[in-house]
Structures are given as C-alpha cells and as structure tokens.
Amino acid sequence: MNYKAFIVEDEARNRDFLKNLADEFCPDILVTGMAATVADAIRGIDQLKPDIVFLDIEMQPGTGFDVLQGVRHKNFQVIFTTAYDHYAIKAIKFSAIDYILKPIDLEELQQAVDKAIQSVRQQQENRIDLLMQNLNQTTGDRYSISLSTSDGTEYVQLSQIIRLEANGPYTTFFLKDQGKIMVSKHLKEYELLLSDHGFFRVHNSHIIHLKEVRKMIRTDGGYAIMSDASMIAISPKKKEEFLQLMAQRLV
C-alpha cells in the first residue's frame, strides 16, 4: 500500500531533492503534490488529503504553522523539515511530531517516514491540534505532552505531572489525580525534553517536578518528599544542583 505524501517547501531545489529521495528510497509513500507557498499548500492539502505532509517551517512569506492553522483537512501526520534546530522544536517534540534538519539525511528521512506510517496505521490524531495549542502557550507549564501507550495516545499537561520513574526501557508518569501512564521510552528522552520546564533528574531512575516537592530529608543520603507522599532518593552527584534549584526557586 502506498501512502499519499505532500511536500511544502518554498525553495525549488530543496523541494525537488526531497521528492527525488522519497521517490527512490521510500517505497511506501507516493508524493502526490507539492507547494511553495502557504496558500498553495493549504489548497493542495485540502484537495488531495495526504496521509503525510513534509512541512517546511520557515517560508517566504509565512511559516509551516500558518499552513496547519489554515487547512481544513487535518487527518495527516506531519514531518517538519527545517534548517533551524531551535525553531519551536520543544513544542514539536511535546506533540510527538517528527522533524528532520536540513540538509536532509537519507537515514533520518527513512526513519521519520517509517514512524509517520506507523502513526497513520494506528490512526493517531490530534497531534496537530496539540502542537498548535502548545505554540500558543505563554508559559511552559501550560504545555501538554503526547504519550503513546499500548492502548492509544494520551495528552497530559505538564502541570499535572508529579514525577517520572524508569523501569528498564519503560517510563511511568505519576499524575496528580493518582493516575499512572507507562510509555515505552527511556527516561533519558524525557530528561532532555522536560529539563527546561521545572523537571530535574535526581537519580538514574527518577525525574521529579520541582514544584511538587513538599519536603527535603537530608538523612540517609537525601530524599525528596513529593506531593503524592512518595519518597524519591537523590543521587549524591545530583544533590548540590538540586539544593541550588530549590533555594533559587528556579521552578
């Protein structure tokens, strides 16, 4: 089965290069349309209803986000293509939407396409809406994160997360409503994603939301008492940085 793909890229050379790579090395997708402007992209996506859209972020004029804001057909997976690794990347990652940096690497392209096809097959929707919500937030606390589980996809506000705990290749999220969500990703991935939003890895197996710390116990090496009454051990290597963060209220 071929999945329909659409390319949005304002530079003709990049547009043709991406199409040639997809045609030759991504046999499961068929590029059915391309656009160089926001208006043409909106028109083409609504008309052709692709399964996957390769979307340039920085366009002249406008951005890829203007395309997402304008389309009526939103039932597709997005792969952002960008030369700017800082451009709204956190919001993109929180929404579990993939991106590849220019110049495009063939292996990264194939991996992104494989992930997008898997998401299409699983009918994972709402990621575009989540991305747009996150982009419009004024503070990171209001971000929501997309968590893929064995049952589907759940969307959780960062403010509702108390802590994360590693269990081999899995990570469990502990929430304020006493719920738990387990995802098949390593804790390290979430450390990189959450570190700028008031979360801190205090131990190899634990990331905590610093706003949810209720008490610090200095005996027995040091523990943080969380708002759910859990006691989280603090690694000796992390203790000084943890105390500095709490003292400076960088949360």
SS3 (DSSP) at 66? helix
| CA 113 to chain CA mean position, Å | 16
Residue 118 and residue 168 share a domain: no
- Confidence (pLDDT) at 205: 95
pLDDT tens, residue by residue, 23-54: 999 999 999 999 999 999 999 999 999 999 99
Residue ending a domain, choose from 134, 159, 180: 134
The CATH number of the domain holding residue 95 is 3.40.50.2300
Residue ending a domain, choose from 90, 112, 134: 134
pLDDT tens, residue by residue, 93-108: 777 678 898 899 999 9
How far apart (Å, rounded) are the C-alpha atoms in residues 67 and 75? 14
Residue 155 and residue 107 share a domain: no
Give the H/E segment covering residue 113: helix 106-121
pTM for the whole thing?
0.65
The angle formed by the CA atoms of residues 133, 137 and 139, to the nearest 5 degrees, is 145
Quick check: 243 pLDDT over 70?
yes
Residue 114 and residue 235 share a domain: no
Beta bridge partners of 200: 208
Mean pLDDT score across all residues of the chain: 88
Residue ending a domain, choose from 87, 102, 134: 134
Residue 118 and residue 48 share a domain: yes
How far apart (Å, rounded) are the C-alpha atoms in residues 251 and 207? 14
- Confidence (pLDDT) at 96: 67
- CB 232 within 8 Å of CB 226: yes
pLDDT tens, residue by residue, 108-124: 999 999 989 988 876 65
Are β-strands 161-167 and 206-209 bridged in parallel, bridged antiparallel, or unpaired?
antiparallel
pLDDT tens, residue by residue, 194-238: 988 889 999 999 999 999 999 988 877 789 999 999 999 999 999
pLDDT tens, residue by residue, 46-83: 999 999 999 998 888 888 989 998 999 888 999 999 88
> Which segments within the chain are labelled E, that is strand?
3-8, 29-35, 52-56, 77-82, 98-101, 144-148, 153-157, 161-167, 170-175, 180-183, 199-203, 206-209, 213-217, 223-226, 231-233
Residue 158 and residue 106 share a domain: no
Residue 237 and residue 218 share a domain: yes
* Count of structural domains within the chain: 2
Instruction: Domain of residue 166: give its range.
Output: 140-248
Q: Looking at residues 9-25, what average pLDDT do you find?
A: 95
Residue 112 and residue 36 share a domain: yes
Main-chain dihedrals φ then ψ at residue 118, nearest 5 degrees:
-60, -40
Residue 112 and residue 11 share a domain: yes
Residue 192 and residue 111 share a domain: no
The dihedral of CA 120, 170, 108, 154: what is its sign? Answer: positive
Quick check: 134 pLDDT over 80?
no
Nearest-10 Cα torsion for 183, 96, 211, 170 = 20
Quick check: 174 pLDDT over 90?
yes
Q: Looking at residues 7-33, what average pLDDT do you find?
A: 95
CA distances from residue 6 to 30, 54, 81, 84, 211 in whole angstroms, order as listed: 9, 6, 12, 21, 43
- Confidence (pLDDT) at 123: 66
Residue 69 and residue 38 share a domain: yes
DSSP codes joined into one string, 160-175: GEEEEEEETTEEEEEE
